[in-house]
Structure 1
Amino acid sequence: MTKSPEPQSRAVAERQLCGLVDGLAQRIAEHVRERAATLGLTASQATALREMSGSMTMRELAERMNCEPSNATFVVDRLEKQGLVERHPHPTDRRAKLLVLTGEGTALRTRLLDLLHVDSPVACLAPEEQRVLRDLLERAVTGA
């Protein structure tokens, strides 16, 4: 019969795991900041462009960016002034607007995605390892 780990050793293991996840998050954030700066964007603008895989509402974008809708609105306002994003009427909800990348926004997003891929903090992992890590992190985040 295997004995379960002592509470102290479980706490140490959890602390180490949390430290590693936090360290990875910091490396990813720094990577995004550096790549965004080369394109004249802030990290928040780069995150918004990265997450805009198609037209979506401000609420959907805020959820993807993991921020409040008011923060996403501020970022989108700046992207709109730069001619990268447009707001269009929502086809079924007259209170909402759809965010749509312009041609220039789509081109910049493509450049950004290419830059984010280069020397990514997870590039040292094989595709299968990245999939396993993604699945494990998803389970930890959702609790499922």
Structure 2
Amino acid sequence: MTNPEPQAVAERELCGLVNGMAHQIAEHVRQRALRLGLTAPQATALRELTGPMTMRELAERMSCEPSNATFVVDKLEKRELLERRPHPTDRRAKRLVLTPQGTALRERLLELLGEDSPLSGLTQEEQGTLQRLLERAVIRP
């Protein structure tokens, strides 16, 4: 019988590193969001709004429940950073679309997020490798 302890230690250490990286990234987003007068969830929503999408799509990208995304979207809409528009093929759904002001703020946010990112110490190739490894670990067939 093999000793499972070395594997358990390795997994614990790896989980600690992934958790630490996640905390660093979250803090980075929070600090950059504050500079723009946003909350971290609002910044995350703006970052993820790469084009028109439904609330459900945004919630998936934000890794949250649609009700939480709705709360964030309501705040962004109040600031006139995005609009809810009719979906072209689904009468029941609305599409979230950035306003020109929202697009400009998103561009500024992306610039700020790129400054001193926790991942900036990695080359593009290393970031790609990390992404592929994490996808393999997270996305199981």
Tell me, what secondary structure is at the counterpart of 2:111?
A: helix
Q: How far is 1:5 from its partner?
A: 6.8
- Residue identity opposite 2:122 in structure 1: L
Q: Which residue of 70, 89, 96 corresponds with 1:92?
A: 89
Structure 2 equivalent of residue 29 of structure 1:
26
Alignment partners' CA distance in 1, 2:94 and 2:140: 32
For 1:39-118, list aligned pairs within 5 A. 39-118=36-115
Alignment partners' CA distance in 2, 1:84 and 1:136: 35
Q: Which residue of 14, 17, 20 corresponds with 2:17?
A: 20
Aligned length: 141
Identity %: 70
Runs of 4+ with >4 A deviation: none
Q: TM-score, normalised by structure 1?
A: 0.96
Structure 1 equivalent of residue 139 of structure 2:
142
Alignment partners' CA distance in 1, 2:123 and 2:26: 21
Alignment partners' CA distance in 2, 1:92 and 1:5: 57
Q: TM-score, normalised by structure 2?
A: 0.98
Alignment partners' CA distance in 2, 1:137 and 1:67: 19
- Residue identity opposite 2:26 in structure 1: A
CA RMSD of aligned residues (A): 1.1
